């Protein structure tokens, strides 16, 4: 494997010259676009450094208090006295009755340690019915998995005849149980609204304060599907835009720019603006969460004492701040990681 190093010439400005000591396979400098052309090895080290820096910056942010702040916000959702929790539990039932969500078939389900497995199975059945009606991809997936299951059953029959252990087919089951998700709700660590199951799942004795916010999500969904469909856009945008930023080279977006196709121009734009785009991708999430809190608090204000309502409002405000902080944090870290990649690869515009 040939070794290489960088030398810096101070002739008006710094220029990076790659020198390889054996095979003379050097990176070249494009004077027209004023960028260097990295080798495959340079790109590999650049992408590796970019990924390492991305996760390193996230770890640093957690050390500096990002993760602890989120944990404190979660604790605040359970920071109510027994008397307040009883008031909240009663109030959420009244709020649900006042919301009109009953008319849309929404199920306000109290989940605890006794019923979470049963509720999870019911949810799986409802999810399967929904996907059967609305998802063509699910129908294709189901046919494939059922076909694989039949093949494995036949193989297992033959294996058992020879005294061999059968093949485990649990990993290709059509629907996986949601019991783990419901167990977390039963423990009072989370609550959620699912548009597919049309259910608000909450432990009304441990996390009742969050129920108002989940009612807000349900109202958002039944008043218009657009916001709730985009609320996870930020989570999808981070890996996609970071990947484009790390693997797209500056040579590709500078050299022969006039000949670059639509895909090339699009990926160039994403690379150059990845941080801003990731931040922007979180805006639908922030809007959906803020709107859910607003609608939920309108219901809460009618059924809670002023003092308890203030605590619920503050809890929602802190929860919303975690989304705002995440959008700024991930956008900034992605931009820094891409910058590190370009510098390590020597793929930097001068």
- Do 202 and 110 contact (CB within 8 A), yes or no? yes
pLDDT per position as a tens digit, 275-294: 999 999 999 899 999 999 99
Task: Note the pTM of the prediction, 2 decimals.
Answer: 0.74
For 81, other C-beta atoms within 10 Å of its C-beta total 8
Q: Beta strand 28-30 with 107-110: parallel, antiparallel or unpaired?
A: unpaired
| pLDDT band for position 170 (cuts 50, 70, 90) | low
Mean pLDDT of 317-323: 95
Residue 47 has pLDDT above 80, yes or no: yes
79-129 pLDDT, tens digit per residue, is 899 999 999 999 999 999 999 999 999 999 999 989 998 888 888 887 777
pLDDT value for 256: 54
Cα–Cα distance for residue pair 85/96, rounded to 1 Å: 16
Is the predicted pLDDT of residue 4 greater than 50, yes or no?
no
């Amino acid at each position: 494997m040939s070794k290489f190093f960088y030398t810096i010439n101070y002739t008006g400005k710094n220029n990076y010259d790659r020198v390889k000591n054996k095979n003379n396979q050097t990176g070249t400098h494009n004077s027209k676009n004023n960028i260097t052309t990295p080798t495959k090895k340079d790109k590999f080290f650049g992408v590796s450094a970019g990924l390492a820096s991305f996760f390193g910056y996230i770890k640093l942010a957690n050390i500096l208090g990002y993760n602890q702040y989120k944990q404190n916000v979660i604790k605040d959702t359970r920071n109510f006295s027994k008397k307040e929790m009883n008031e909240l539990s009663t109030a959420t039932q009244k709020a649900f009755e006042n919301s009109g969500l009953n008319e849309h078939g929404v199920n306000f389900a109290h989940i605890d340690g006794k019923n979470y497995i049963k509720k999870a199975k019911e949810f799986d059945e409802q999810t399967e019915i929904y996907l059967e009606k609305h998802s063509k991809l699910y129908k294709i997936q189901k046919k494939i998995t059922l076909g694989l299951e039949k093949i494995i059953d036949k193989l297992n029959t033959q294996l058992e005849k020879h005294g061999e252990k059968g093949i485990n087919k649990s990993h290709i089951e059509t629907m996986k149980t949601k019991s783990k998700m419901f167990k977390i709700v039963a423990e009072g660590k989370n609550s959620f609204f699912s548009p597919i199951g049309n259910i608000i799942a909450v432990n009304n004795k441990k996390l009742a304060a969050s129920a108002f916010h989940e009612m807000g999500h349900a109202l958002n969904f039944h008043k218009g599907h657009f916001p709730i469909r985009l609320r996870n856009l930020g989570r999808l945008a981070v890996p996609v835009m970071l990947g484009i930023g790390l693997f797209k080279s500056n040579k590709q977006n500078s050299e022969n720019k006039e000949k670059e196709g639509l895909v090339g121009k699009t990926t160039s734009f994403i690379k150059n603006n990845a941080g801003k785009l990731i931040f922007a991708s979180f805006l639908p999430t922030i809007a959906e969460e803020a709107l859910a809190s607003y609608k939920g608090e309108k219901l809460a204000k009618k059924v809670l004492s002023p003092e308890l309502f203030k605590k619920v409002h503050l809890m929602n405000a802190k929860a919303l701040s975690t989304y705002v902080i995440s959008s700024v944090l991930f956008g900034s870290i992605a931009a820094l990681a891409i910058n590190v990649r370009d510098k390590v690869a020597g793929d930097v515009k001068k």
